[in-house]
Amino acid sequence: EDGEFARPVQFPPPPPTKDVPPFVSNFVSTAKYTVLTFLPLNLMWQFQRVANVYFLIIACLASTPLSPVESTTFWTPLIFVLGVSAFKDAYEDYRRHQSDIEENSRKTLLYSEDQRKFLTVPWKDIKVGSIVMVSTTDSEECSPMIPSDLALLASSTGDGTCFLETANLDGETNLKLREAPETLFHRVTKWAPGHETEGGTLKELQLDQISKLQITVRCNAPDAFLYDFNAKLQWEGDELPLNGGSSGGQFLQRSTKLKNTKWVVGVAVYTGPDTKIQMNMTDPPNKTSNIEGKLNSYIRGLFLFLFILCLIGSIGASIVQRSDTMKKTWYLSPDTSTTTFDTGSPDKAAFFSFFSFLILFSLLIPISLYVTVELVKAIAALIISSDLQMYAREEGIPSKARSAGLCEELGQVNYIFSDKTGTLTQNLMEFKKCSVAGIQYGRGYCEVERAIARRQGKLLPDDPVPPAGLDKGFKFVDERLLFGKWEQQESAAMLREFFINLAVNHGVQVEYGQNSELPLYQAESPDEGAFVTAARNCGFFFCKRVMKEIVIKMSDGPVGRGSDVTYTILNVNAFDNNRKRTSVVVKDARGALMLLVKGADTSVMPFIDHAACSFFEETQMHIDLFSDQGLRTLVFAGRAITAEEYAAWNKQYVAATLLPEGREDALRAIASQIEENHSHPNQPSALFDTSTEYKSALQLHGVTALEDKLQENVGECIAQLGKAFIKIWVLTGDKLETAINIGFATALLSTEMQLIRIAADDLAALPPEGALEEKLAQAQAALAVKDLDAFISACSEGMAIPACAEVFEGLRAKGQSVHGKAQQSSTSIGGGYETGPIEGKVKELILKEKVRNRLKQYRGRMGPKDSAGGFAMVIDGQCLRAAMQNDLKMQFLEVGVECRAVVCCRVTPSQKAQVTLLVKDNIPGQITLAIGDGANDVSMIQAAHIGIGIRGKEGQQAVLASDYALPRFAYLERLLLVHGRWSYNRIGTMVCYFFYKNIVFALTIFWYGLANNFSAQSLYDDGYQSLYNVIFTGLPVMFFAVLDRDLEPDMVRKHPELYSTGHWNARFSPARFWGFILGSVVHSVLLFYLTVYSLDLDVSGSNGRGTGLWTIGTAVLTNVIIVVTVTIALHTRSWSIAHVLCYGGSILIWYLFCLVYHSLPVDFWGDEQNRVHWLIQDLASEALFWLTTILSCSTCVLPILCYKYYREQYFPAIDDYYRRVVAQPELYGDGDADASNVNIGVASDSEYNANSARSAARRQSKESLASGTSREGGEGVVGRMKRKAKRLLGRNQSVQKQDPTRCDFTPAPERPVRTGSGSGAPARPGTGEQSLAGVDVSGAVPGSAKGTRGGGGG
């Protein structure tokens, strides 16, 4: 068959034919390589890096006569680098192979047609169509895990059900129910006498019936959707529907574990790579960090620099070899030609000299950089995963870095996009309040209520203590409902309906522990668990589920007692994100049929029978009140249905379950039909199509209000992130009022902020603005009275407006089409469901225009001084859909980037990803981070630069798609402010330094070439070049990149504004990178020429041997190694004995190497070794050598020391300021060691696609930080700092005249600069918004600590 049921699975399996390809086996392999393919595939992967290809070319060139050095000089480091990466990959793949062997070797029971019994076989032997038994007996041989994706046929329970634990699949530990097809189940099983259990009578399998089975399962093709399984089972002329779903259905996924069931039997439908879990085993999207992206552009610049150097050398060689002087230099044998030296053909020699110089200067691009960066990132990831302060001890869950490539990106985050439920909250639902018959119940207060009271200066009393006799942990208190007191209320009948709905309308499974009468509810969602627990404590105890029957103990006394009442579940209409409700059709003990519905208020309240509900308005007020208090509300309703109505509807329901295609859409439409009481069948939900006719017939049972408590320290974490200038956007499915109050409770919003509220209900009450909106309002009024002529006329008038012509042209065409069809069919337009789609389109256009006008209005008001506390925007789902349209989304972004916080309500999973991508794609320089805990957050997590999954109660799908996994949201503060900041500072400096030390090495060879007539001769011995990066200078930079801490965690968390250095990209800015390059050029000049001209070139050593090339090369390299090691030491901020040993040991290793290397016998390496034999011994005996080392090293290092001292004392960066506070706290008075008035303008070198959005993203003061010019017309930051520094110096001179021994840099008290609310928005100099501390976060822009401490700490 075609379509969804394109995969026929038969038992017994038919013999394979040429026309039907065989299914894949159950063998799984997650390894990337085999023994034969490892070397070629791994090398192919490694040579996808441009740097590796570059060095391979250099190594190949070094193997030709063009090379002035031995080829081993380049092959050795290249092979080492490739070998390290290959070893790492081989080890990881070896672990995968071991895991695959273990997985494929697990045992299970497979039915043998020949022997007519179940045999123990490894998992890999299972084939599609095999009958498999999985058992939970104590056998050590067989695993209770499902070996392949199975369609359930039978189980050991009397009702054919079984329970699965899906933790390996989605991380959820609650048990999932599966149900075998009833008729087939009873055929292949029989009662097992004498085996009574609490869950029912056990059954045993009839092997003779299994041998007679002839079944065909037609299912959909393999896909990665964990719970999707649409199939039908053909057996003895019947077609039985088979369904998936997280709970219910007949689908058993591979690697799930059988629980509380003795055995199950199923037919294998998907095996091996086709199983759901294997289809989902894909790596997260490959994300490249911001530093890596910039590094590639810098390397391109260095390639150009390398080309210029080689070109200079080549041209110089041509000029020298063409000159008469060279031809007369007889001692150079000018008549003897080589590849790179030919006075007879200088141009040809110069051409080949270009490649010789390319080989010599190739170390400009460091080959070991990528391996070092990878190793450093891997260690940083290990440190994150091992951090005990990010370990949830109660749950035993550590944090985990699933991606090692983004650790430095954690130090540059600008925007955080967060889910709410389960991310900011615990996803532990507590039944707090309810409303039944217009009466509110529940005596406690929730967190949001207490937060609101605190803002108002009030103090609420503690919650009442629950009375004795209730379940442990159940905190709902209201004496009117508990212990059967509900029967004494006037609304007892309605309360009964309400609690029956709570106790019956769910998918909860119930278990009992050993020797315990208390039930353990296994709920798919925390909401349902809270509902059945509340019903139990109010006298409606859900105690048993057998097949489709639910048993309720009803009592007016003690909890858990009472008489049994049975309800039969006939149909279940599952929840989906479109309808946002679920319903069941049940039959009570008397045979009466009822429809029970629960869902969001927007999905249920429109279908309540207002005429029969006298308390509708009161209930709606309670819904709004609960939402204001931050509670999650659900509406419960129902109605009686007749047998005739049910029979007709059930016929459509059964037909929909057997559809080969579009089964889910059909079931959704069928569910809407009975829930909304449609007048005609086969119509879409009235929620989305206004043309659908329905009758409001539901009876309102009540409303529940659950509290999802905030996670520990969420408010503190959000406040800290805000102070670090990180903007937080919360994307939630809650109502707008609920989201606002949660925002206040979590410190995301504050009373100082100006709230921008964009809600559809608010906008609908506004009068039309502008010509387009007015004409649309006229068209809507015409449609309201079904006057198509007036509608078409209004559209024609609208077309006359140039800006509106396209909009009204489309509307008029639709109106004319509907009008023409109505006339042809002679139907009355007044009956008029045909106009429904047009009405919906007009409403959508009106809302879009109102959103546009509202955004334009606020955009014009968002000046720098408009709100001292900044702005916060809250927008609901309908308005967000309008704002995200192509012609409006940039205006939405303009407003959003100006806000300190944004809350998007009633959003869908796709909208979460769209909002994230809107910021990510249109602000290239800004780093986005998305954090969530559920499957609905996966698209958002993968869309952001950095994805973080919370290991919550909604499974592990978010974790599996993430780059980092955290057990709690509050750990995000330490992850970003501590680990992220450290990693960014370390890696940014490390990469700059890596290029610096290599360029110093390469340019000394270049200066030697200039002094040696461009001869393309190496200055250094081949052994030096081979080991320079790997041995002599490799360890210090690794030590720095792993262990350096400019400030301790307590100081960083106490002053989160320190994080802003990453926003400036201060550690890897173009200015800093090219500053390192310029420094390397200067140092190479000083090191080469000072060393050469300071040594005695005539004689060296006691043996009278002249100072030759290798002597000079050894002396120069000695000084190079010392200087580059001291340079990294000067950048080191945290010192220990290990640092001293590492840095000092690196220099010592060079001397020990020379001592051993130069002491080898003359012929140890061949004749070439003669050039360095005993060389270091002769050099070391000369005092001039040591004096030269001291002179050249001091000349290079002292300017760095002076510059660092001057900058840190008079123009400190923000981290310099806080290091000074830690090192010399005595210079600062109490409470004076903060940076509350330091003025920081957070740079954002990002650009939008639209000009208007670009100006919004980069809105800062027009003050030029380079010139010190202020927007206010004042002297600016730089001018103020210079003036204050002069005043301090003058004051100090005055003090010294009075007392020459005294040097006082303590400034006089000064009135502090007014700061903002502390909500954490980026400060703008001169705007009066929140400012930080007259220091410069980039390290390049001047500023002073505390505004007047230009010389503090001097």
Query: Which residues are marked as active site?
Result: 419
Per-position DSSP letters for 440-486, written without gaps between them: EE-----HHHHHHHHHTT--PPPPPPPPTTSPTT-----TTTGGGGG
Is the CA virtual torsion 471, 474, 478, 480 positive or negative? negative
Per DSSP bridges, beta strands 7-11 and 397-398 are unpaired
Question: CA 656, CA 589: separation in Å to the nearest integer?
Answer: 28
Coil, helix or strand at residue 724? coil
Question: CA 158, CA 155: separation in Å to the nearest integer?
Answer: 8
Where would I find the H helices in 785-876?
A: 788-799, 805-824, 836-861
**Which residue spans within 877-1004 are E strands per DSSP?**
901-904, 927-932, 946-950, 964-966
Q: Which residues are CB-neighbours of 296 under 8 A, at least 6 positions away?
A: none
Locus of tokens 């429809």: 595
Question: CA 507, CA 236: separation in Å to the nearest integer?
Answer: 31
Q: Which residues are CB-neighbours of 1268 under 8 A, at least 6 positions away?
A: 1275, 1276, 1277, 1278, 1279, 1280, 1282, 1342
Q: Which amino acid is at 105?
A: S
Tokens of 337: 């030609």
Question: CA 977, CA 982: separation in Å to the nearest integer?
Answer: 8
Q: Which amino acid is at 708?
A: D
DSSP 1156: H
Torsion of CA 1252, 1256, 1258, 1260, to 10 degrees: 130
Tokens of 723: 């102070």
**Which residue spans within 608-689 are E strands per DSSP?**
632-641
Coil, helix or strand at residue 857? helix
Q: Which residues are CB-neighbours of 889 under 8 A, at least 6 positions away?
A: 883, 918
Locus of tokens 């048990």: 175
Using alpha carbons, select from 635, 914, 624 the residue that is nearest to residue 740.
624
Coil, helix or strand at residue 740? helix
Is the CA virtual torsion 1252, 1253, 1256, 1257 positive or negative? negative
Coil, helix or strand at residue 231? strand
Measured CA to CA in angstroms, residue 31 lies from 44, 100, 123, 281, 1108 at distances of 17, 8, 18, 12, 56
DSSP 161: E
Question: CA 900, CA 869: separation in Å to the nearest integer?
Answer: 9
CA 66 to chain centroid: 50
DSSP 632: E
Per DSSP bridges, beta strands 391-392 and 509-512 are unpaired
989 backbone φψ class: left, alpha, beta (φ>0; ψ -120 to 50): alpha
Tokens of 458: 């009030």
Longest dimension (CA), the chain: 123
Coil, helix or strand at residue 793? helix
Coil, helix or strand at residue 684? coil
Q: Which residues are CB-neighbours of 257 under 8 A, at least 6 positions away?
A: 144, 145, 146, 164, 165, 167, 168
